[in-house]
């Protein structure tokens, strides 16, 4: 576990992580005295045991008999796919037993080679994480999904008991479907299995499995069709649930997840670009793209007076359609405020956006604190329920006022109901530190992730991510501001065996200081979220980088200002609260632990054996050859000098860490330059592991995004990797030396990292 000295004392010269665990630096003999073949890199170095993980090896004198030897507690020998004498690939098996620790360090070496590397294996399978759920219309059964342990939980909300079913690899999203025979089904998508699993609600042993996309991050059902948000290929896939066949597929903006049926349209929210697209429900044809723009009204909260400086939207965390008003409601941290005369920065203002499909974004109601997460509409009573994951609140809103005008929207809040953590749930701080000095209350420990309304409108059911509970609320009198907490049902064990990691999860999401800022506000689910007018110097627009795998690649920020995960959590954790109060050493321990255990997702574009495939279709439809691209990456294209294996950044190793360079890419986003600090001191080299899922690219975000004439920032390319590789050569790599086919091969290799 971390100590405060390690948390705040790490510098560029440190060779230990925050917790005193070796950093994973290769223990390789000096080149001058090495007697035999050497292992140069094995990675990525941070791996989850939740699913099978691709591993790449760079070494000298590999041959067909070479094997990867993993030490205790894994103690396995893995066969390698040897591509040439320098490169080999394999897969770490899924579900490795790692005991009770949040992570273990495993020594790894190539048989017959000098040099021992270290891999960190994250014990995700013993850390259930409830991120999606559905509730039957009678509010008698709740179905909750945990991707970390491949489990779906069925909670009897009347009897108070829960049973569980193991499904396919990485269940992610759920919707309910009633077939022609009146059988009720749970329809479950998966991140790491290309299938939908259907489970009968009446008889859990009755199942169907039908083909579906990999990385199925979201799903809704309308009629006999399931509409699946596919994260890997950034598309929406319509699947006929009766025939089990794909009906249509439409490319959409990056990282789609949240979906809502809006009349004859399907509303699709892009987590990475912050925009909402409307697709024709029947055909999948794109009808329009909607996003806040300069002048979009902001009602309430700290950003209200900066509406004219809106540059784009932020991730839609949930979407809810109101048939009676013809409005789409959007949960988010608010319109994204860009450069402004007051240098107001980091412009979170969690709330609810109101969208007219034909007119666009009408307004955003900001609450000035918290992160609005999930929505449920009661059209019959004209109410909207909105959960706040960072404060542990359920807000009741009047939809008629929300939809009518800005003045009416300012009066739309009917009630705020604080959720109640279960007895014995540990606290991040002493009880006396809550609900004082404008701080949040103990309800922030609950983490309301999902919400569902019963058909009669009397019961609201809330999924609590942190406590692993389902809470039922009596909302029969919610219109009068009299919603009341009713009961809780336990879904699974929240604390054992990783209680401190759970508290770190609470802290990652919490808005204790009621500033509207949290780690999750900028880095949703540990990943990136577009660009921000940022909280660092020089103050300008930066891409919000991913936390995934970043433990291996300090330092952080541009130019570097923190040099370990612990130091980062201390600086950012205190800043997010406006130091009201500063995080305690115990909080920093837990927060650092949680942030350090967020791994990069396994690459969906490599083969079942972990090796790059022979051919790969790129996002723009062209075809590349990853294995040919690997040779170009290390040779003719000149990429490996700044992006060496295994994380493909110089920051992965002590000797080359923290070198900021100029490679000819844009130095700032050209939006109201006079209001930005454009001083340039060089950029760090971002890790390319997981770059298939990064949008936008470059520190400025200008690979993927562009400034439009109206002062807004919009998606310019849905394949930012091609822009980053090709547009700024020859200073940024040597794509100018490559043929068109070679460029495709190079891109295919980077897509495979």
Write the secondary structure of 465-521 as one string of H (helix), E (strand) and C (coil): CCCCEEEEEECCCHHHCCCEEEEEEECCCCCCCCHHHHHHHHHHHCCCCCCCCCHHH
Buried b (16+ CB within 10 A) or exposed e, 510-543: bbbbbbbbbbbbbbbbbbbbbbbbbebeebbbbb
Residue 324, pLDDT above cutoff 70? yes
Tokens 């406590």, residue located: 467
Q: Average pLDDT in the 122-136 region?
A: 98
Peptide bond before 555: cis, by omega within 30 degrees of 0? yes
Count Cα neighbours of 329 within 13 Å in the Cβ-side half-sphere: 32
pLDDT tens digits along 338-365: 999 999 988 899 999 999 999 999 999 9
In 347-425, the DSSP E strands lie at 351-356, 360-366, 372-378, 383-388, 393-398, 413-418
pLDDT tens digits along 259-302: 999 999 999 999 999 999 999 999 999 999 999 999 999 999 99
Question: Looking at residue 559, what is its pLDDT?
Answer: 85
Indicate the domain borders of the chain.
4-122, 519-545+552-595, 616-751
In 191-323, the DSSP E strands lie at 195-200, 207-211, 216-222, 225-230, 235-240, 245-251, 256-262, 265-270, 276-280, 286-290, 298-299, 310-312, 318-322
In sequence order, which residues have a C-beta less than 8 Å from that of residue 630 and are 6 or more positions away?
A: 83, 87, 612, 749
Round to whole Å and give the CA distance between 74 and 86. Answer: 25
Q: Sign (positive/negative) of CA torsion 26, 27, 28, 30? A: positive
Q: Phi and psi dihedrals of 332, rounded to 5?
A: -165, 175
Question: Looking at residue 722, what is its pLDDT?
Answer: 98
Round to whole Å and give the CA distance between 676 and 570. Answer: 26
How many residues appear in the chain?
A: 753
Tokens 């342990």, residue located: 149
Could you tell me which of 490, 493, 483, 470 has the C-alpha nearest to residue 136? Answer: 470
Round to whole Å and give the CA distance between 468 and 448. Answer: 10
Contact 171, 154 (CB under 8 A): no
One of 2.30.30, 1.20.120, 2.60.40, 1.10.760 is the CATH number of 616-751, namely 1.10.760
In sequence order, which residues have a C-beta less than 8 Å from that of residue 38 and are 6 or more positions away?
A: 28, 29, 31, 59, 60, 113, 114, 115
Q: Average pLDDT in the 529-547 region?
A: 89
Write the secondary structure of 548-570 as one string of H (helix), E (strand) and C (coil): CCHHHCCCECCCCCECCHHHHHH
Question: Looking at residue 700, what is its pLDDT?
Answer: 95
Confidence of residue 28 (pLDDT cuts 50, 70, 90): very low
What pTM was computed for the model?
0.95
pLDDT tens digits along 372-399: 999 999 999 999 999 999 999 999 999 9
Residue 2, pLDDT above cutoff 80? no
Q: Sign (positive/negative) of CA torsion 419, 421, 427, 431? A: positive
Contact 58, 646 (CB under 8 A): yes
pLDDT tens digits along 213-251: 999 999 999 999 999 999 999 999 999 999 999 999 999
Question: Looking at residue 535, what is its pLDDT?
Answer: 65
Question: What 3-state class would DSSP assign to 383?
Answer: strand
Instruction: Please count the other Cβ atoms lying within 10 Å of the Cβ belonging to residue 77.
Output: 9
Tokens 């054996």, residue located: 609
Q: Average pLDDT in the 137-153 region?
A: 98
Round to whole Å and give the CA distance between 72 and 519. Answer: 34
Structure tokens at 61: 């004198």
Burial of 424 (0-12, 13-18, 19+ CB in 10 A): exposed
Question: Looking at residue 672, what is its pLDDT?
Answer: 96
Query: Could you tell me the CATH superfamily of domain 4-122?
Result: Immunoglobulins (2.60.40.10)
Round to whole Å and give the CA distance between 232 and 403. Answer: 35
Buried b (16+ CB within 10 A) or exposed e, 430-442: eeeebeeeebbbb
Round to whole Å and give the CA distance between 51 and 120. Answer: 15
Residue 410, pLDDT above cutoff 50? yes
Q: Phi and psi dihedrals of 101, rounded to 5?
A: -75, 150
Question: What 3-state class would DSSP assign to 402?
Answer: helix
Round to whole Å and give the CA distance between 670 and 541. Answer: 9
Confidence of residue 12 (pLDDT cuts 50, 70, 90): very low
Contact 279, 265 (CB under 8 A): yes
pLDDT tens digits along 497-534: 999 999 999 999 999 999 999 999 999 999 998 999 98
According to DSSP, the residues that pair with 531 across neighbouring strands are 543
Round to whole Å and give the CA distance between 299 and 113. Answer: 64
Question: Looking at residue 10, what is its pLDDT?
Answer: 33
Burial of 615 (0-12, 13-18, 19+ CB in 10 A): middle
Q: Residues 580, 583, 586, CA angle at the centre, nearest 5°?
A: 150
Q: Sign (positive/negative) of CA torsion 712, 713, 714, 716? A: positive
pLDDT tens digits along 675-726: 999 999 889 999 999 999 999 999 999 999 999 999 999 999 999 999 999 9
Contact 475, 483 (CB under 8 A): yes
Burial of 30 (0-12, 13-18, 19+ CB in 10 A): exposed
Q: What is the DSSP letter of 304?
A: G
Q: Residues 378, 381, 384, CA angle at the centre, nearest 5°?
A: 40
Round to whole Å and give the CA distance between 442 and 501. Answer: 18
Residue 33, pLDDT above cutoff 90? no
Contact 661, 682 (CB under 8 A): yes
Round to whole Å and give the CA distance between 546 and 354. Answer: 28
């Amino acid at each position: 576990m971390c100590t405060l000295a390690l948390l705040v004392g790490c510098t560029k010269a440190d060779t230990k992580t925050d917790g005193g665990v070796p950093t994973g630096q290769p223990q390789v003999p000096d080149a001058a005295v090495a007697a035999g073949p050497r292992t140069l890199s094995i990675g990525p170095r941070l791996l989850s045991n939740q699913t099978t993980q691709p591993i790449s090896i760079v070494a000298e004198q590999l041959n067909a008999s070479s094997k990867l030897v993993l030490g205790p507690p894994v103690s396995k020998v893995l066969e390698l796919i040897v591509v040439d004498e320098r490169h080999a690939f394999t897969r770490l098996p899924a579900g490795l037993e790692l005991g009770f620790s949040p992570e273990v360090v495993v020594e790894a070496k190539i048989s017959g080679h000098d040099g021992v590397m270290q891999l960190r294996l994250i014990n995700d399978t013993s850390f259930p994480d409830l991120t999606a759920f559905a509730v039957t219309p009678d509010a008698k059964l709740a179905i909750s999904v945990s991707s970390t342990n491949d489990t779906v939980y069925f909670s009897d909300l009347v009897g108070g008991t829960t049973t569980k079913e193991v499904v396919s690899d990485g269940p992610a999203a759920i919707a309910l479907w009633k077939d022609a025979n009146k059988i009720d089904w749970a329809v479950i998508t998966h991140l790491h299995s290309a299938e939908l699993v259907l489970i009968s609600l009446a008889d859990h042993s009755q199942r169907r499995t039908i083909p579906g996309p990999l990385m199925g991050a979201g799903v809704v059902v309308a009629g006999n069709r399931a509409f699946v948000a596919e994260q890997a290929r950034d598309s929406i896939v319509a699947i006929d649930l009766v025939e089990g066949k794909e009906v249509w597929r439409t490319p959409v903006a990056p990282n789609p997840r949240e979906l809502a049926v809006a009349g004859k349209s399907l509303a699709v929210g892009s987590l990475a670009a912050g925009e909402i697209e409307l697709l024709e429900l029947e055909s999948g044809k794109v009808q329009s793209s909607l996003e806040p723009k300069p002048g979009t009204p902001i009602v309430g909260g700290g950003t209200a007076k900066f509406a004219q400086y809106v540059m784009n939207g932020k991730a839609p965390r949930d979407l809810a359609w109101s048939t009676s008003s013809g409005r789409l409601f959007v949960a988010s941290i608010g319109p994204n405020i860009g450069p402004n005369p007051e240098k107001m920065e980091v412009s979170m203002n969690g709330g609810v956006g109101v969208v007219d499909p034909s007119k666009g974004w009408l307004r955003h109601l900001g609450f000035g604190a918290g992160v609005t997460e999930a929505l449920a509409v009661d059209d019959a009573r004209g109410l909207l329920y909105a959960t706040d994951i960072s404060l542990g609140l359920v807000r009741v809103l009047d939809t008629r006022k929300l939809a009518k005008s800005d003045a009416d929207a300012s009066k739309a809040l009917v009630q705020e109901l604080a959720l109640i953590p279960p007895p014995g749930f540990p606290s991040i701080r002493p009880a006396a530190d809550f609900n004082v000095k404008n701080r949040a209350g103990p309800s922030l420990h609950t983490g309301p992730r999902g919400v569902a309304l019963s058909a009669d409108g009397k019961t609201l059911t809330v999924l609590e991510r942190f406590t692993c509970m389902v809470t039922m609320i009596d909302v029969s009198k919610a219109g009068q501001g009299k919603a009341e907490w009713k009961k809780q049902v336990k879904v699974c064990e929240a604390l054992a065996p990783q209680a401190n990691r759970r508290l770190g999860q609470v802290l990652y999401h919490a808005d204790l200081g009621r500033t509207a800022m949290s780690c999750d506000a900028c880095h949703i689910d540990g990943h990136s979220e577009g660009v921000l007018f940022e909280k660092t110097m020089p103050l300008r627009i930066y891409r919000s980088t991913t936390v995934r795998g970043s433990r291996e690649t300090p330092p952080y920020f541009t130019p570097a200002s923190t040099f370990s995960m612990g130091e980062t959590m201390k600086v950012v954790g205190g800043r997010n609260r406006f130091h009201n109060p500063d995080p305690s050493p115990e909080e920093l321990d837990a927060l650092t632990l949680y942030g350090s255990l967020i791994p990069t997702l396994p690459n969906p574009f490599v083969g079942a054996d972990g090796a790059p495939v022979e051919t790969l279709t790129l996002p723009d439809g062209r075809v590349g050859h990853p294995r040919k691209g690997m040779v170009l990456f290390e040779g003719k294209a000149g990429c490996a000098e700044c992006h060496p294996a295994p994380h493909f950044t110089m920051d992965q190793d002590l000797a080359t860490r923290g070198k900021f360079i100029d490679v000819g890419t844009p130095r700032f986003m050209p939006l109201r330059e006079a209001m930005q600090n454009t001083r340039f001191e060089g950029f760090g080299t971002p890790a390319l592991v997981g770059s298939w899922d990064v949008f936008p690219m470059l520190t400025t975000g200008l690979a993927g995004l562009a400034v439009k004439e109206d002062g807004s920032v919009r998606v310019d390319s849905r394949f930012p990797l091609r822009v980053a590789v090709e547009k700024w050569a020859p200073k940024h790599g040597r794509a100018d030396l490559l043929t068109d086919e070679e460029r495709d091969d190079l891109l295919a290799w980077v897509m495979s990292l």
